[in-house]
Amino acid sequence: MILFPNCKINLGLNILRKRDDGFHDLETVFYPLMIKDALELVPNSQHPASSINFSSSGFSIDGDPATNLCVKAFNLLKTDFPELPAVQMHLHKAIPMGAGLGGGSADGAFALKLLNDSFNLDLSTEQLVTYALQLGSDCPFFIINQPCYATSRGERMTKIELDLSAYKFVVVNPGIHINTGWAFSNIVPSVPKRSIQETIGQPISTWKNELTNDFELPVAKEHPAISSIKEQLYAAGAVYASMSGSGSTVFGIFEKETSPALDFPSSYFMAIV
């Protein structure tokens, strides 16, 4: 069985306060985009019943494969469902990593869904969300995979009516890795006068001046390429452009009929969806 984990962008991101547990309260809108990885699972009779054999292709994945969220998803479910057989899981990475697009979180969440569907575990959406939160704060969104207003660490989500199908998205990643801890350390938390939930309900033409990402200013100060990408997207006719998450991906929203003239370095990742 194969599923295709998609990415997300953040439409606005406010860091509201630092919590006693060391995390931060935030607010954002998660919006799914159809830039996709591919995740395949098959039973594997060649390995012991307790194991997962994980492989990958596409973009190189840093770190020990045992720490991959797909592997963690299998081990998490195996604890509660010891009858799960050994599996071979292959991930083809097409979503840039460490880019503010949630690709790793999507892979982990889709691994839960893939295991649930493949082995008839009959887990409800609510149960899958609970498992996903154990993998990471962004993972529950990809179980729901619909536009959501998110608060707390990002795990408290409310579905919202937000249809941007009349637009196309240009997604650009310059290949700069942003350390999330560093990004948070450069934020002074504050509560804005207007909630993102209110701003997102206004016409998209107003977003340029009112919908912001708190991470963008410090990240762009450290990496001027972020500002350069955003400026080029606006110059090409974007109605709204912003950095996603803690970066370094920048996206532009364009009217469907627009054919933006863009000239980014060949080393950049760019997709139009």
CA atoms within a 13 Å half-sphere pointing along the CA-CB vector of 128: 23
Number of Cβ within a 10 Å radius of residue 38: 17
The encoded tokens of residue 170 equal: 């240009």
What SS3 state is found at 206? helix
DSSP letter string, 1-19: -EE--EEEEEEEEEEEEE-
Q: Distance between CA atoms of 191 and 27, rounded to whole angstroms?
A: 10
Q: Which of 30, 20, 26, 29 is nearest to 189 (CA)?
A: 26
Q: Tokens in use for 232?
A: 């080029």
256 has catalytic annotation: no
Catalytically annotated residue among 37, 107, 138, 214: 138
DSSP letter (8 states) at residue 167? E
62 classed as catalytic? no
- Among the listed residues 8, 78, 93, 230, the single catalytic one is 8
Q: By three-state DSSP, how is residue 163 classified?
A: coil
CA distance 157 to 133: 12
| Contact of 222 with 247, CB cutoff 8 Å | no
User: Could you list the active site residues?
Assistant: 8, 138
